[in-house]
Copies of this chain bind each other. A is one copy, B any other.
Amino acid sequence: MMEGREKIEKNRKRRGRQSVAYAEPVYINASASVAGKKEGEGPLAGGIDMTGEDDLFGCGTWEEAESSLQKDAVYLAMGKAGVDSRQIQYLFAGDLLGQSIATSFGVMNYGIPLFGLYGACSTCGESLSLASMAIDGGFADTVVCVTSSHFASAEKEFRNPLEYGSQRPLSATWTVTGSGAFVLGKEKGEKARAKITGITTGRIVDYGLKDSLNMGCCMAPAACDVICQNLLDFGRQPSDYDRIITGDLGSVGQRALIDLAAERGYDISVNAWDCGMHIYDPAAQDTHAGGSGCACAAVTLSAYILKQLEEKKWKRVLFVPTGALLSKTSFNEGKTVPGIAHGVVLESV
C-alpha cells in the first residue's frame, strides 16, 4: 500500500529571485489539443488533434462544451502517453470561467487529485510551473496539466451575450475555443515532445490600463517583467532563445512588449513570437489583434510549438503565457486590468 521513494539528490539551483533551473529536466511526454471549428480552419489545423463541427460539441450549453474540451484533451493526452487516470498523481487545471466550472465539470470523472489554478490566460504557464515543481521535488512521477477557454462562454462571462452582436475595436482579441493537455513525467517517455528545464514565476504588474478590449497592452508589462527577469536570472540574452513566445498579447500588445523590453535594454524584436498572432489566419480569419484565452497558449503549444522543438527547428524557447486579471465585476467597478505572466523554459529532447 505504501510505496517508499528513493532519496533525492539534486543539483537544482534557485536562480535569482523568481526562477528555478532544473538540473534534471521534466519531460512533456505527450500532449493533445482539442479546438473549435474556427481554430480548426486556421493555420494550426494540422497539429490539432480534434476539432468540433460546431462549438457546442454535442452539449447543451457553452459551459458544458468547454468542460467537454478539457475532458477530451486529457483523454487524448493520456492515451498518447499510454497511461490511464490511475497512474496520474496530480492534475493541475484551470479555465477562465467564474469559479473555474469548466474545469470542475470537465475533469471530475477522472478522479485524479486536483489542484485548481487561476491565472487568467497565463494558467497554462502556471500549471506547467507547478506540475514541473511537483515532479522535480519528488512528489509525483506523472502529472497532467490542462487548461481551456471557449469563445462563447468567455463572451458571456466577461462581456455580453453573443446575441447582442458587440462591436469590437481593432485592439480586441478573439477568445480561442479549445483545450490543451500535457502529460509531464519524471522519466523521458518514448515519444517525449520536449523538456522543461526551468521556470520563472510572474508577479502581478499593473500599469493602470483599464481597457478590457485592449488586453494585449494590459498584459504586456507583466510579460516584459517576467521575460527580463528570466534573462537576468539565467544570465541569458534574447538570442539564447530561438523564440520568446507570449501567450495572447496579439499584434497590438506585442508591439508594446517589444518597446517595453527595449527600454529595459533587451532587443526581442527578432525572436518575439505570440501564440495569439499564429492561431488564426489574419487575412482569411480576421480576428483583429489575434487570439486569446487560456486555450490560445495551450493549443498552440500542443499543436505547433512542441512540433518545432521535436523537429529541432527550435532548440530552446521561453514560453510565457500571459493573463489579464479582470472580471466583469472589477471592470464595472472601474478597476484597472493588471497582468500576470509565467515563464517556462522548453528545450528539445
Interface residues of A (CB under 8 A from B): 1-5, 7-18, 20, 60-61, 63-64, 86, 89-90, 94, 96-101, 104-105, 107-108, 111-120, 126, 129-130, 133-134, 136-140, 156-157, 201-204, 206, 232-233, 235, 325-330, 333, 335, 338, 340
Contacts and interface: CB of A to CB of B under 8 A. Distances in A.
A17 B111 CA distance: 11
* Closest 9 A/B residue pairs (Cβ): A137-B137, A98-B98, A99-B327, A113-B201, A108-B204, A104-B325, A116-B118, A118-B118, A101-B330
Contacts of A129: 115
A61 B12 CA distance: 45
Count of this chain's copies in the oligomeric assembly = 2
A148 to B, nearest CB: 14
A264 B138 CA distance: 31
A204 B104 contact: yes
A115 B232 contact: no
Given A3-B14, A98-B98, A233-B2, A117 B115 contact: yes
Nearest to A119: B116
B2 A13 contact: yes
B12 A5 contact: yes
Nearest to A326: B99
Contact of A99 (B15, B60, B330): B330
Contacts of A330: 63, 99, 101, 104-105
B113 A94 contact: no
B329 A98 contact: yes
A86 B16 CA distance: 12
A133 B126 contact: no
A204 B97 CA distance: 18
A238 B118 CA distance: 34
A329 B114 contact: no
B335 A139 contact: no
Contacts of A100: 118, 325
Contacts of A133: 133-134, 137, 139
A24 to B, nearest CB: 12
A112 B229 CA distance: 13
Among A14, A15, A96, which residue has the most Cβ atoms of chain B within 10 A?
A: A14
Given A98-B98, A126-B116, A201-B90, A108 B138 contact: no
Nearest to A340: B114
Nearest to A200: B113
Contacts of A120: 99
Given A10-B8, A329-B97, A333-B63, A235 B113 contact: no
Contacts of A203: 111-114
A22 to B, nearest CB: 10
Nearest to A10: B8
Contact of A104 (B111, B139, B328, B338): B338
Contacts of A114: 119, 201-204, 340
A2 B16 contact: yes
B116 A338 contact: no
14 contacts: A1-B235, A3-B13, A7-B9, A14-B89, A98-B98, A98-B99, A99-B325, A99-B326, A104-B330, A113-B203, A115-B117, A115-B126, A115-B130, A116-B118
Nearest to A105: B335
A21 B7 CA distance: 13
